[in-house]
Amino acid sequence: MAASVAATIFNVLVIFCATKLFRRSGDTMHLFIISMTIGDLLLTVFCHPNEFLIRKHEFLQHARLCAIIHFCNWLGLAVSGLSLTMLNLDKLIYFQWPLSYDRTMSKSRAAILYVTCVWVFNVVYIGKNCILQMTSQKMYFYDIFMVMYCVLPVTSSLILSCYLYQLTHEKRHSPAAIGQSRETRRFKSKMRSLVFIFATTAWTAFSLLPYRIFNICRMHLFEWNELDCSTQDIMNWLAYVLQYLLLLNPIINPLITALIYAPYRLTLKQFLVNIPIRNRSFYYRENQTDVR
């Protein structure tokens, strides 16, 4: 519960920093960070606390509340995963096809086409199927969701991040890059952002993929009733560990963004110490005036 509260605060701060940096630079990657962080915020501010309270208090165990929490869980996970894919795709277009980047990833296109479609498509898809009872005849909805919105986006993001690392490594050591683009401010900024993107992608893959793949394998590759008691205990223990690792994903994500990516770290630092800095600068100007 305390971790969810702390993560909610960090998610709000990351959204604040991303909005401020987007207004200043116009870089479309900040839009995808906002979308990804809102998806994580939905989990930390509503889903995780309510799941904890429902387990503690029986009077909160209502079908409608559980359906809403289930819907928001699916929505937050799907939006966060797809936004991460778009974040990696944004960098791939910049480094692979730099001349087409400004036309392909314009502000309006990124805001309207990509971010809006990610949210609207997930709301329509999950909203239609979340109310269905997950009987044996309906389980294919769960399988489709797990594969399309949890496994494939994160896996593709991890592949894109590895490819981007190799691509940028080649560009940095090429003669053309050493003489020209390597010295440009925009190129350097994009290079620094790759460290943050790779860290976020690696953490998401590490925390999200194991439980999803394990759950799909447990549903389709094993007959639960045919397993002996010791095997069932081991699988239950493993499922609990992987599930708690999954719950840590939206909690750690804002910390990675706020601490690893330099523009967010500096903006957050400036925001937190804004008043003391102003006081010191004002005091410094007064002293300079008195000396003169």
Please give the pLDDT value at position 290: 38
| Helix ranges restricted to H, the chain | 2-25, 29-42, 48-56, 63-96, 101-104, 107-109, 116-129, 139-145, 152-172, 175-179, 185-220, 229-260, 262-272, 274-291
Confidence at residue 175, expressed as pLDDT on a 0 to 100 scale: 58
CATH number for the region 2-291 comes to 1.20.1070.10
Confidence (pTM): 0.79
CB 206 within 8 A of CB 168: no
Q: So what's the pLDDT on residue 285?
A: 43
SS3 state of residue 279: helix
Q: Are 37 and 14 in contact (CB under 8 A)?
A: yes
pLDDT at residue 137 in the model: 61
Rounded to an integer, what distance in angstroms lies between the CA atom of residue 141 and that of residue 130?
9
Q: Which segments in the chain show pLDDT lower than 50?
A: 131-132, 178-183, 275, 277-292
Residue type, 223: E
